[in-house]
Chains A and B, each alone.
Chain A
């Protein structure tokens, strides 16, 4: 990404001034988005903040700026990393800048006089969930819609949430989960909230297509995006407790055993692959560590798939991984090796084997399988 900053270093005002205006204020045009993307690419915190506030000052609603500028820009940040256009550092810097922009928008709109709150909501991320920005945006949208909102941040252990619930007694927990590997943690959070009698609204890509796994872990409500969540809550408030976890399959103990033996499985998997792929034996310490980390992700997604009893958790991960590897010039067929390598250590886990079969077929359909090694 290359950006051409205007000579005065502040292209935002001109770009916003040029945007057509509709009932909701200046429209977030492609040019505005491009200017914002450029700020993210340059980690230009001041520029990004100025651009967003300029929209606000010229009459755009804060919700529009959040949902039509910040959220889509953040989505493309992830895509650029996946496509190997951006480094991890750039991705991280861009996310940090977006967070600062949301904070600035919040600070600006919070100054407005508050009317009687519709209800109180605590917005939280599952334990281990670091993608806080979508939850942060939801928190701000709900606040703009008249709810009293507290945002607990990324990576919130269930115990922390529970002590918040006892202290502050909100009417609803909004739980964000962006990666399905966090579903067991999300389930702990849902369970903890519901035990104190507080319903849970689930949201985020981690809950799967149409939020199918939100219902599996027992959430009471699900919304795809921040605006949908706000509409849903405004339509029926307070929401009743209605969720029922559908986790009867956990009785076979496969999930528990898998989660408990993660370290051993990872070692077996790595050693097995080293035996079959001679190239791995010449990896240096860092390459080896990176490989073990990737294999760990594979194992974690398999574990989450076993937790919700749905192979799609793993197949979706493999599709994304294949894309990421391909963008970095690594043949995705290695994934199939790894999937195959798990069969032997997991031979006593019928449900795991079923999911691994589905994963293999999925990779074969996509043409990502090796010719016989």
Chain B
């Protein structure tokens, strides 16, 4: 603290002149002696003659006291004032260089000021006393610092809370990385880049500096930026400062405009056990250096960002696994074959997964038309889907050596029994062969499945009893096969119990049922192409269900194309 010039002896200053006409609201002249008393504090009246307190007494005041006359000449000041305004001398007019905001306030006639001066935050106000102006000035620096620190801490906490919320919103890895860099600017830096862990020989990065960019880096570039390489390897768990120039080997990952004279902070992003990447924070030459607080804030932000990136990476890996398995289990697109129309609808109970216990498979046959199977494994979800995969593979393999549907069912039954699996399936398997007259000959063998329905050209609907026992339960199953002739325009509809056992309707608890399905086919499916019939059955079922949960729903329609020019 500056020592300050010695306080001039108060006695040197001219004694205060009494106010010429008294202060407003205060009695003047004769009443003056009363005003010298200080009943509130019980202080003794000042010594007669002077009319001013002892100078030492002013030094006891813990604020700066500066007394000026009407012409703003300093008449007196205490020790605190000498600390706050070291060059302030008694006898001189208040001036801007010496008294800053105090001089400005006095010159402009304001009664208060609150401003920075000499590295301090000063708050002052004026009182009048005997025609003189008594300025009382308080050093608010400490209070302000505490308030500023509190505000800054609050804004950092708000930043981290917001970051946590926005990072938690998505599980997509790319979006998470983009969110990280967007959050970091401008709070932490002018530009931010997330560099992801090496994947093979390269690594991807996402940058934000007001605009988004992305790209990838090779291993050699990484080796030339050792601080980043260390952060990515998890060797250095702390944020490390460097010049932006040191990051230059990273090319576009760091904005070129900031490389000259800018400064960088390399922040590791801790994941779940392995590093989730690194965050490069770059400040331009015009911005203040990274402070200790910035380091801490960057570290706390990185902890959240790292967890979010690690969770997203984990989710991406899991969902990739799931989607690859799912792709292998979901029904394949229907083939296009001459003189036969096909249509299907598939809506698993777990729509998002798109696999379930219902399955169908249609393959073109060398004998013309198609071979098909359609079934429903007990249960739903992933477990059921896995068994549908087995059944489908078994049947596809059996088709290579066995063309008789009933025999195929027996072999599949035996195979499922041998596997020791407790689950079973219903099944219809068969073939559809276009005939010379434009019709289609369908042969089907049943394993305990719901009877397929045939929509005839005249609008009647017949149930085809395929019979048979469930597949995969009994050692001595009974299977049989039936033949159905479809005339042009006629359609055979296979469906799972997700259709007929759908519960809903206007009253909410009725079963859709085979009767209603039959009626709808007759009333609103005549003349429809096979694909539209399948979609319509799915639509009617789902509408019946309303918002209620449902079982897997599958529909397969086989149709002899209508004769040309025929109208329903």
Contact = CB atoms under 8 A, between A and B. Distances in A.
B12 to A, nearest CB: 70
B524 A197 contact: no
Contact of B507 (A165, A166, A263): A263
A163 interface: yes
A67 interface: no
Nearest to B354: A160
Contact of A197 (B179, B315, B507, B536): B179
Contacts of A30: none
Contacts of B542: 130, 155
Contacts of B173: 169
Contacts of A157: 351-352
Q: A interface, by DSSP: helix, strand, loop or mixed?
A: helix
Chain B interface extent, by class: 35 or more
B171 interface: yes
Contacts of A166: 170-172, 315, 319
A5 B527 CA distance: 17
A293 B536 CA distance: 17
Interface stretch (A85-93, A226-234, A339-347, A357-365): A85-93
Nearest to A168: B172
A9 interface: yes
Contact of A169 (B170, B532, B567): B170
B418 to A, nearest CB: 37
A338 interface: no
Given A9-B564, A96-B532, A166-B171, A289 B527 contact: no
A195 B528 contact: no
B170 A89 contact: no
B565 A5 contact: yes
Interface in A66-108: 87-90, 92-93, 95-97, 100
A128 interface: yes
A71 B427 CA distance: 41
Interface string A288-308: 010011011000000000000
A206 B543 CA distance: 18
B174 interface: yes
B557 to A, nearest CB: 12
Contacts of A97: 529, 532
A192 to B, nearest CB: 11
Nearest to A185: B547
A30 to B, nearest CB: 23
B365 to A, nearest CB: 23
B172 A93 contact: no
Given A45-B529, A166-B315, A266 B547 contact: no
A310 interface: no
B568 A89 contact: yes
Nearest to B525: A89
A166 B528 CA distance: 38
A88 B524 contact: yes
A157 B169 CA distance: 19
B223 interface: no
Interface string A162-185: 011111110000000000000000
Contacts of B523: 89
Contacts of A54: none
A156 B542 CA distance: 12
B393 interface: no
A42 B172 CA distance: 46
A159 interface: yes
B141 interface: no
B175 interface: yes
Contact of B508 (A88, A164, A263): A263
Contacts of B564: 9
A45 B528 CA distance: 10
A100 B319 contact: no
A195 B169 contact: yes
A363 to B, nearest CB: 23
B506 A296 contact: yes
Interface in B537-568: 539, 542-543, 547, 564-565, 567-568
Contacts of A295: 506
A296 B507 CA distance: 10
B567 A42 contact: yes
B377 to A, nearest CB: 22
Interface string B512-536: 0000000100011111110110011
Interface centre among A95, A96, A100, A155 (most CB of B within 10 A): A96
Given A92-B535, A169-B170, 8 more contacts: A43-B527, A43-B528, A89-B528, A130-B543, A157-B352, A166-B315, A167-B323, A292-B506
22 contacts: A9-B564, A43-B529, A43-B568, A45-B529, A89-B525, A90-B527, A92-B532, A93-B527, A93-B529, A96-B535, A100-B531, A127-B547, A128-B547, A160-B351, A164-B352, A168-B172, A196-B169, A197-B170, A197-B175, A266-B507, A289-B505, A289-B506
Interface of B: 166, 169-175, 179, 315-316, 319, 323, 351-352, 505-508, 519, 523-529, 531-532, 535-536, 539, 542-543, 547, 564-565, 567-568
4 interchain residue pairs of minimum CB distance: A169-B172, A96-B532, A166-B171, A292-B506
